[in-house]
Structure 1
Amino acid sequence: MAGTIRALRRRVLTPDVSETLVSTRGFHDKGPEARTILETVGSSFLAGLSSAAGARRVTDVDTDLAELPTRFQGFAYEGAAMGFALVDALMPGTPRRSAEFLAGTGDRHVYMAYVGFGWALARLPKFLWRRALAAATDPLLRWLVHDGYGFHQAYFHTDAYVHGRRAVTDFPWPSEGPTSYAARAIDQGIGRATWFVAGCDPTLAADLIDRFEPARHQDLYSGAGLAATYAGGCTEDELRLFLTRAGGHAPFVAQASAFAAQARIRAGLLVPHTELAARVFCRTSAAEAGRITDELIPAGPSADGLPAYEVWRRAVAERFRVGARVQP
């Protein structure tokens, strides 16, 4: 009986892989290489989601995902986090799977895990959010939940959130706020998804971002820069073009690139395209960019209530802004 329930969970909670095809989503098709990357990202995410949804033990996902290529394992663990959050929300008893996941191998993928929790929220009624987020207790990283939610909405509801430029202004979590920052963190996820919508084409990505209200550009460019670094899909010249298009927001592209580099390094998944993006966006190695992010982790929010996550982002962006000025 237990095996039947797990199989049913897997079937009900996992979308069909056709939902990740560029043609299905209506995303720009830059060419076979970029298309393959984006579709493999999607199928890897679903592999992780499916594994977690049907897992007998939390550690089963490690066996299931071990053979995936290094480039795509992080996306699979993001999907696994979504799966565990969904199971925690929907199954009776005390939510525990996400916490077990983070206490184990999920710790190496903690940034992606928090993003995956945000995906789960997009698929659940709000009265189940508390259960889904029982393990999302880190006050620094919890804003990545919003990033994941924003990515999901832009990925699956592209007309509204990218082409229609819909803003989320009433996000009810975390209850202690600040509620005003939720929209900004969600925009970072929308920006990340915009890289996918644009098919890894930097000109199209920048064109899409520039159609939004100027006040949203910084977070959107930052999110797209993170995707360009973590997912890849373009050449060095294309990365330089995107950085140029970002203009005054280039330090936040560098900040996001450094976050992406550190996420891969922490998980042991550093790959050449991430190294390349870090050198273009941050003007340093991925290892050094990641080290800077760790060095600048703040002790807490600012005196005026700015979340620690935004204090962190600004400090990292400023470090790269200063570094850019001293480059020959």
Structure 2
Amino acid sequence: MVTSVTAQRTPFLFRPLVLDDRSIRLDKTGHLPGDPEVRRRLEGVVAAFAAGYGAGLASGRGPLEPDAPTAPGTAPAPAGVPAALAGFAYEGAAMSRALLDVLTGTRGRRVAGLLEGPGRRHFHLVHVGIGWAYSRLRLRPWSGVPGARGLPRWLAWDGWGFHQAYVRPGPVFYEHRVERGARGPAMPVRDQGAGRALWFHTCADPETVGRVIAGFPPHRRGDLWSGVGLAAAYTGVRPPDVLASLLRIAEGHRADLAQGAAFAAKARVLAGEVPGDVRDAIETLCSASPATAAKWTDIAHDEAADHGDSLEDYQYWRTLVRREWRRHDGGLVRREWRRHDGGGGQW
């Protein structure tokens, strides 16, 4: 929970923004019960996010205070956060710093400072955290955000969607409401973020995930499965046998699951921290090692970036990751892959 020390370290003017992690706990935000051990681990993710949020708020534009020296090639975790959860802490730090940047008109300098330091190894999660901030402020990250560049900046819409689904699971998952600001080209990315939140909402239960997604219109299911794949792989809270059932339940959306898991692989490999349970999850969902799956995203990124860095190019990136998975998995590409592929789980 938030402590007096956290509040005291935060500049006085910003103390109203201090986050009590009890307010975002799974049992406080309308999420479903489930396996106690899985619930405990997911609550650890929430706590890491809250710790990073507080560290970002307290440290201003400076680096986050590391907990301990880290091995070469790894990003330091903020104080009190296990190395395996460091990405979630940087996501939280990005949210608080983006909030400060918007509220103080500093044109992204605080976020840029995070990306220029150790946070560059967690740049996927940093961009997602930016989306949390814009969603909390009821603003749309439509044209990206100051300090964020290239295709990854569109991950802000993923974070935006995660926030909406996490804090309002009923309207998002059971009434299928879409916020007015996300109706349009950004909706597939918003839905990917909602899919990530669904993994938390269901306490990582494949049967419940499948039932919830089956209630959505068919054209939205691929993006939701993509988000589920990303969350399932990055958190690593379920063993291979449970993830095998997730693959079975996903039926025709294995490519979407793999696309999401491949981006989780890239984020983990870049950070230099691939715990054993995360490795097992990636290998199950991608049928490939984390390094191989991460490479798919690199190949796809380079090809998509040749076209530009628009939202359309970002979605083309996701399409190309699915193509790389199909090639690896031994499947036949039965039609020409075009830029305007209409698949549901674009990246």
After TM superposition, the structure 1 = structure 2 runs for residues 123-134 of structure 1, keeping only pairs within 5 Å, are 123-126=136-139, 133-134=145-146
d(CA) in 1 for partners of 2:44, 2:13: 23
In the TM superposition, what is the alpha-carbon distance from 1:283 to its structure 2 partner?
Answer: 0.6
* CA separation of 1:211 and 1:99: change in aligned 2, threshold 3 A: same
1: CA distance, partners of 2:131 / 2:158: 7
The question of 1:85 aligning with 2:90 is answered no
Given that residues 168 and 186 in structure 1 are in contact (C-alpha distance below 8 angstroms), is that contact kept between their aligned partners in structure 2? no
Alpha-carbon distance in 2 for matches of 1:169, 1:131: 16
Find the residue that maps to 2:184 and give its secondary structure: helix
Residues 114, 141 of structure 1: 8 Å contact kept: yes
2:274 is paired with a residue of what secondary structure?
coil
Are residue 221 (structure 1) and residue 221 (structure 2) matched? no
Counterpart amino acid of residue 167 in structure 1:
V
Displacement after TM superposition at 1:189 (Å): 0.3
Return the offset for 1:11: 3.6
**Which of 35, 42, 45 is the matching residue for 2:46?**
42
Match of 2:152 in 1: 141
Q: Which residue of 1 aligns with 2:198?
A: 194
Q: Normalized against structure 2, the TM-score is what?
A: 0.83
CA distance in structure 1 between the aligned counterparts of 2:261 and 2:318, rounded to whole angstroms: 11
Matching residue of 1:103: 116
Aligned sequence identity (%): 36
User: Normalising to structure 1: TM-score of the pair?
Assistant: 0.88
Q: CA deviation at 1:296?
A: 2.1
Aligned pairs (5 A) from 1:118-267: 118-126=131-139, 133-138=145-150, 140-171=151-182, 180-267=184-271
2:31 maps to: 27
Matched, 1:318 2:319: no
Does residue 276 in structure 1 map to residue 288 in structure 2? Answer: no
For 1:65, what is the secondary structure of its paired residue? Answer: coil
User: Which consecutive residues of structure 2, in runs of 5 or more, have no partner in the other structure?
Assistant: 1-6, 68-76, 333-347
The aligned length equals 315
Supply the distance in 2 between the matched residues of 1:306 and 1:112 (Cα, whole angstroms). Answer: 18
Mapped partners of 1:94, 1:326: distance in 2: 46
How far off its partner does 1:165 sit?
A: 1.3
Find runs of 4+ consecutive structure 1 residues off by over 6 angstroms. Answer: 129-132
Quote the RMSD (CA, aligned, Å). Answer: 2.6
Q: Is contact 1:121-1:132 (8 Å) kept? A: no
Q: Which amino acid aligns with 1:227?
A: A
Amino acid at match of 1:71: A
Q: Return 5+ residue gaps in structure 1 as ranges.
A: 172-178
8 A Cα contact 1:221 1:246, kept in partner: yes
Q: Which amino acid aligns with 1:152?
A: H
Q: C-alpha separation between the residues in 2 aligned to 1:156 and 1:78?
A: 16
Instruction: Return closer, same or farther for 1:295/1:66 CA change in 2, 3 Å cut-off.
Output: farther
